[in-house]
Amino acid sequence: MRVTEKQFVRRYSKIIRRMLVDLGEGGRSGVEETPDRHLKALYAMTRGREVDSPEQLATLLKCFEDQSSEEQSGIVVQTGIPTWSLCEHHLLPFFGQTHIGYYPRGSIVGLSKLGRLVDVFSTRAQVQERLTREIGEALQTHLSPLGVAVMLECRHSCIECRGVRKHGSVTTTIHTTGVFRSDKDELARFLTTVRR
Protein backbone atom coordinates (compact mmCIF):
# COMPACT_ATOMS: atom_id res chain seq x y z
CA MET A 1 0.00 0.00 0.00
CA ARG A 2 1.46 3.33 -1.09
CA VAL A 3 1.78 5.88 1.71
CA THR A 4 1.10 9.59 1.26
CA GLU A 5 3.89 11.96 0.28
CA LYS A 6 3.89 13.53 3.76
CA GLN A 7 4.17 10.11 5.43
CA PHE A 8 6.99 9.16 3.06
CA VAL A 9 8.98 12.34 3.75
CA ARG A 10 8.43 12.12 7.51
CA ARG A 11 9.46 8.45 7.60
CA TYR A 12 12.73 8.74 5.63
CA SER A 13 13.99 12.32 6.01
CA LYS A 14 16.29 11.50 8.94
CA ILE A 15 17.75 8.55 7.03
CA ILE A 16 18.64 10.71 4.01
CA ARG A 17 20.08 13.38 6.32
CA ARG A 18 22.28 10.73 8.00
CA MET A 19 23.33 9.39 4.60
CA LEU A 20 24.50 12.88 3.56
CA VAL A 21 26.52 13.19 6.77
CA ASP A 22 28.13 9.79 6.18
CA LEU A 23 29.03 10.84 2.63
CA GLY A 24 30.72 13.96 4.00
CA GLU A 25 28.03 16.24 2.58
CA GLY A 26 26.15 17.08 5.78
CA GLY A 27 26.16 20.28 7.82
CA ARG A 28 26.11 22.68 4.85
CA SER A 29 23.28 25.16 4.30
CA GLY A 30 22.96 24.03 0.66
CA VAL A 31 21.87 20.52 1.68
CA GLU A 32 19.66 21.50 4.62
CA GLU A 33 16.44 20.92 2.67
CA THR A 34 17.88 18.22 0.37
CA PRO A 35 16.39 15.23 2.24
CA ASP A 36 12.81 16.50 1.87
CA ARG A 37 13.39 17.60 -1.74
CA HIS A 38 14.95 14.24 -2.64
CA LEU A 39 12.10 12.27 -1.08
CA LYS A 40 9.42 14.40 -2.76
CA ALA A 41 11.15 13.92 -6.11
CA LEU A 42 11.38 10.16 -5.56
CA TYR A 43 7.71 10.04 -4.59
CA ALA A 44 6.72 11.95 -7.74
CA MET A 45 8.90 9.75 -9.95
CA THR A 46 7.06 6.65 -8.70
CA ARG A 47 3.50 7.98 -8.94
CA GLY A 48 2.63 5.41 -11.64
CA ARG A 49 1.81 2.87 -8.91
CA GLU A 50 -1.32 4.90 -8.23
CA VAL A 51 -2.78 3.41 -11.45
CA ASP A 52 -2.31 -0.31 -10.98
CA SER A 53 -5.60 -2.09 -11.62
CA PRO A 54 -7.09 -3.18 -14.97
CA GLU A 55 -10.12 -0.99 -14.21
CA GLN A 56 -7.95 2.10 -13.77
CA LEU A 57 -6.11 1.36 -17.02
CA ALA A 58 -9.43 0.86 -18.83
CA THR A 59 -10.58 4.28 -17.61
CA LEU A 60 -7.30 5.85 -18.70
CA LEU A 61 -7.45 4.22 -22.15
CA LYS A 62 -10.97 5.30 -22.97
CA CYS A 63 -11.67 4.06 -26.49
CA PHE A 64 -13.94 5.52 -29.14
CA GLU A 65 -15.94 3.33 -31.47
CA ASP A 66 -14.93 4.07 -35.04
CA GLN A 67 -16.07 1.62 -37.67
CA SER A 68 -14.19 3.56 -40.34
CA SER A 69 -10.98 2.51 -38.61
CA GLU A 70 -11.57 -1.05 -39.81
CA GLU A 71 -11.79 0.13 -43.40
CA GLN A 72 -8.58 2.17 -43.36
CA SER A 73 -5.39 0.38 -44.27
CA GLY A 74 -3.10 2.68 -42.32
CA ILE A 75 -1.52 2.37 -38.93
CA VAL A 76 -1.71 4.99 -36.21
CA VAL A 77 1.79 5.99 -35.09
CA GLN A 78 2.81 8.48 -32.42
CA THR A 79 6.54 9.15 -32.15
CA GLY A 80 8.81 11.02 -29.80
CA ILE A 81 6.80 10.68 -26.57
CA PRO A 82 9.17 12.02 -23.87
CA THR A 83 9.88 9.25 -21.37
CA TRP A 84 11.49 9.33 -17.92
CA SER A 85 11.80 6.43 -15.53
CA LEU A 86 13.87 5.08 -12.64
CA CYS A 87 16.17 2.10 -13.09
CA GLU A 88 15.01 -0.38 -10.47
CA HIS A 89 18.58 -1.59 -9.90
CA HIS A 90 20.09 1.77 -8.90
CA LEU A 91 17.12 4.16 -8.59
CA LEU A 92 18.85 6.39 -11.13
CA PRO A 93 16.92 7.94 -14.05
CA PHE A 94 16.77 6.61 -17.55
CA PHE A 95 15.20 8.79 -20.20
CA GLY A 96 14.45 9.08 -23.89
CA GLN A 97 11.54 8.61 -26.26
CA THR A 98 8.72 6.15 -26.77
CA HIS A 99 7.23 5.42 -30.19
CA ILE A 100 3.85 3.66 -30.42
CA GLY A 101 1.99 2.23 -33.41
CA TYR A 102 -1.23 0.27 -33.64
CA TYR A 103 -3.66 -1.01 -36.25
CA PRO A 104 -7.21 -0.01 -35.22
CA ARG A 105 -9.93 -2.65 -35.24
CA GLY A 106 -13.29 -1.01 -34.65
CA SER A 107 -12.10 1.47 -32.04
CA ILE A 108 -9.43 4.10 -31.55
CA VAL A 109 -7.91 5.71 -28.47
CA GLY A 110 -7.47 9.42 -27.83
CA LEU A 111 -3.95 10.40 -28.85
CA SER A 112 -3.24 12.12 -25.52
CA LYS A 113 -3.91 8.80 -23.79
CA LEU A 114 -0.79 7.25 -25.34
CA GLY A 115 1.46 9.71 -23.51
CA ARG A 116 -0.48 9.17 -20.31
CA LEU A 117 -0.09 5.42 -20.66
CA VAL A 118 3.67 5.85 -21.02
CA ASP A 119 3.66 7.98 -17.85
CA VAL A 120 1.75 5.34 -15.87
CA PHE A 121 4.28 2.62 -16.55
CA SER A 122 7.41 4.80 -16.61
CA THR A 123 6.80 6.57 -13.29
CA ARG A 124 7.78 3.59 -11.17
CA ALA A 125 10.95 1.61 -10.56
CA GLN A 126 11.48 -0.12 -13.91
CA VAL A 127 13.69 -1.84 -16.40
CA GLN A 128 13.38 -0.66 -19.98
CA GLU A 129 12.56 -4.12 -21.33
CA ARG A 130 9.55 -4.51 -19.01
CA LEU A 131 8.42 -0.93 -19.56
CA THR A 132 8.28 -1.53 -23.33
CA ARG A 133 6.32 -4.75 -22.88
CA GLU A 134 3.85 -3.31 -20.33
CA ILE A 135 2.92 -0.40 -22.61
CA GLY A 136 2.34 -2.77 -25.54
CA GLU A 137 0.36 -5.32 -23.53
CA ALA A 138 -1.88 -2.66 -22.01
CA LEU A 139 -2.75 -1.28 -25.46
CA GLN A 140 -3.36 -4.76 -26.86
CA THR A 141 -5.60 -5.71 -23.91
CA HIS A 142 -7.69 -2.54 -23.70
CA LEU A 143 -7.88 -1.52 -27.36
CA SER A 144 -7.93 -4.96 -29.05
CA PRO A 145 -6.23 -3.71 -32.22
CA LEU A 146 -4.91 -5.90 -35.04
CA GLY A 147 -1.46 -5.31 -33.58
CA VAL A 148 0.70 -3.03 -31.46
CA ALA A 149 4.34 -1.96 -31.84
CA VAL A 150 6.19 -0.11 -29.09
CA MET A 151 9.79 1.07 -29.28
CA LEU A 152 11.77 2.83 -26.56
CA GLU A 153 15.09 4.57 -27.11
CA CYS A 154 16.65 5.56 -23.79
CA ARG A 155 19.84 6.71 -22.15
CA HIS A 156 20.57 5.30 -18.70
CA SER A 157 22.22 7.31 -15.92
CA CYS A 158 23.46 4.08 -14.33
CA ILE A 159 25.55 3.51 -17.48
CA GLU A 160 26.59 7.13 -18.02
CA CYS A 161 27.58 8.36 -14.55
CA ARG A 162 28.82 5.15 -12.85
CA GLY A 163 30.16 1.74 -13.83
CA VAL A 164 31.29 1.77 -17.47
CA ARG A 165 30.54 5.51 -17.86
CA LYS A 166 29.56 5.35 -21.51
CA HIS A 167 28.01 8.78 -22.01
CA GLY A 168 25.45 9.05 -24.78
CA SER A 169 24.88 5.33 -25.37
CA VAL A 170 21.28 4.54 -26.30
CA THR A 171 19.40 1.33 -25.53
CA THR A 172 16.56 0.36 -27.90
CA THR A 173 13.80 -2.08 -26.96
CA ILE A 174 10.86 -3.20 -29.11
CA HIS A 175 7.68 -5.06 -28.23
CA THR A 176 5.20 -6.23 -30.88
CA THR A 177 1.87 -8.03 -31.01
CA GLY A 178 -0.44 -9.19 -33.78
CA VAL A 179 0.38 -8.13 -37.32
CA PHE A 180 3.60 -6.42 -36.25
CA ARG A 181 4.87 -9.73 -34.93
CA SER A 182 3.58 -11.95 -37.75
CA ASP A 183 4.32 -9.68 -40.74
CA LYS A 184 7.89 -8.36 -41.16
CA ASP A 185 6.70 -5.81 -43.71
CA GLU A 186 4.35 -4.23 -41.16
CA LEU A 187 7.12 -4.04 -38.57
CA ALA A 188 9.38 -2.47 -41.19
CA ARG A 189 6.63 0.05 -41.99
CA PHE A 190 6.42 1.04 -38.33
CA LEU A 191 10.18 1.36 -38.00
CA THR A 192 10.42 3.42 -41.18
CA THR A 193 7.76 5.81 -39.87
CA VAL A 194 9.61 6.15 -36.56
CA ARG A 195 12.91 6.87 -38.29
CA ARG A 196 11.54 9.67 -40.51
Q: What is the pLDDT of residue 72?
A: 58
H helices within the chain, ranges in order?
Answer: 5-22, 34-44, 54-60, 68-71, 111-122, 128-143, 157-160, 179-182, 184-195
What whole-number distance in Å separates Cα of residue 83 and Cα of residue 136? Answer: 15
What average pLDDT does the structure give for the chain?
A: 93
The domain spans of the chain are 5-44, 53-195
Q: What is the pLDDT of residue 196?
A: 86
Spatial CA neighbour of 154 closest among 118, 112, 190, 110:
118
Q: What is the pLDDT of residue 70?
A: 54
Q: 62 pLDDT band (50/70/90 cuts)?
A: confident
Class of domain 53-195: alpha beta
- SS3 of 156-194: EHHHHCCCCCCCCCCEEEEEECCHHHHCHHHHHHHHHHH
Work out whether strand 63-65 and strand 107-109 pair parallel, antiparallel, or are unpaired. Answer: antiparallel
Q: 106 pLDDT band (50/70/90 cuts)?
A: confident
Q: Are 75 and 103 in contact (CB under 8 A)?
A: yes
Q: What is the pLDDT of residue 190?
A: 97
Q: What is the pLDDT of residue 27?
A: 85
